[in-house]
Structure 1
Amino acid sequence: MRRDELLDAAEQILCDQGSSALTLAAVADRAGVSKGGLLYHYASKEALIKGMVERLIDDFDELIAAQPDATYTERYLQATMAAVKSGRLRRWAVVTGASGNIYLLTPLREAMSRWHREGLADEPDPVASQIVRLACEGLWDVASHDPELNTEEDLQALELRLKALL
């Protein structure tokens, strides 16, 4: 679990202070470990950012997989709502941290491409499915910038409306 604590600390720094504040020393301090302890798990700032990107992708893939008896877009919607409601909004922190290095964003771009292409042709209405997936992206981005914008009731109403499109 130490790796997750380090990634949590890095993400919190990115969310609170921006990418310029993300240093190995700051992450080690926030996580309550020595810099050597951090370097044992992540040898560089780039490795740390890569770890955040990989965790983001893995977490979202797990949320999608948790709904096996639904269409891919229904699972995508459920995963998005779970991420938004639980506060598992790492995307902004990761993108901010990796924005200076296109190589570090490659896995996220590949995952986004996969998430938006997966099963689209098998959906009853591929256009409606694409609209729902894009709306999920917008919801996640907005919620990562302003987590207080939507109440639980707002999110339920949005979810119902998006389900109705499907």
Structure 2
Amino acid sequence: MRRDELLDAAEELLCDQGSTALTLAAVADRAGVSKGGLLYHYASKEALIKGMVERLIDDFDELMAAQPDETYTGRYLGATLAAVRSGRLRRWAVVTGASGNLFLLAPLREAMSRWHREELGDEPDPLAAQIVRLACEGLWDVASHDPELNTDDDLQALEGRLRALLKPPA
């Protein structure tokens, strides 16, 4: 059993039954492995949650890298919209909600700091770039709680307006 399959099983369990159902035995059962097989990869529930959080960060970094935009904030916006459109936000909300331990969320705090500090000074308009990044966080948060709120037309309109903010001032 590979790590990703174990993490998938844990995320599915969280989505289906909530954080109280997240036990090593339940994850092993969901993944179809022995508890020892799970413990080989993740020695504790905390290690499993940390693995889920780290995978979410890696997923967003991959979405960023796949964006064709020339500016960091343009890629950040594109990655955020890709995550919203794909439904990945539910995973974020569920996994981070399951981790009531601030230590387990430390990698996410570090990633957020990196994403929001990265190359801001290299943007044509650093203040507009910061506004767009913060708008992405708001969109992310609202969409994770109400994924049906914005239609694709709404998202296209938001993207157009936010991208217009990123154009260099005349």
| The two structures share one fold, judged by TM-score above 0.5 | yes
5+ residue gaps, structure 2, are none
Count how many residue pairs are aligned between Structure 1 and Structure 2. Answer: 165
Which deviations, in whole Å up to 9, do the C-alpha atoms of 1:34-82 show, x marking residues without a partner? 2222222211101101101110111111111123551000000011111
Contact between 1:84 and 1:143, CA under 8 Å: does it hold in 2? yes
What does 1:44-123 align with in structure 2 at a 5 Å threshold? 44-67=44-67, 69-89=69-89, 90-99=91-100, 101-123=101-123
One-letter code of the match for 1:10?
Answer: A
- 2:11 aligned partner: 11
Q: Identity over aligned residues, as a percent?
A: 83
Partners of 1:137 and 1:162 in 2: CA distance: 13
One-letter code of the match for 1:95?
Answer: T
Which deviations, in whole Å up to 9, do the C-alpha atoms of 1:13-52 show, x marking residues without a partner? 2233332221112212222322222222211101101101
RMSD, aligned α-carbons: 1.6
Structure number, greater radius of gyration: 2
1:152 aligns with 2:152: yes
Runs of 4 or more, structure 1, over 3 Å off, are none
Displacement of 1:164 in angstroms is 1.2
- 1:163 aligned partner: 163
Partners of 1:116 and 1:67 in 2: CA distance: 17
Secondary structure of 1:102's partner?
coil
5+ residue gaps, structure 1, are none
Tell me the TM-score normalized by structure 2: 0.89
- 2:31 aligned partner: 31
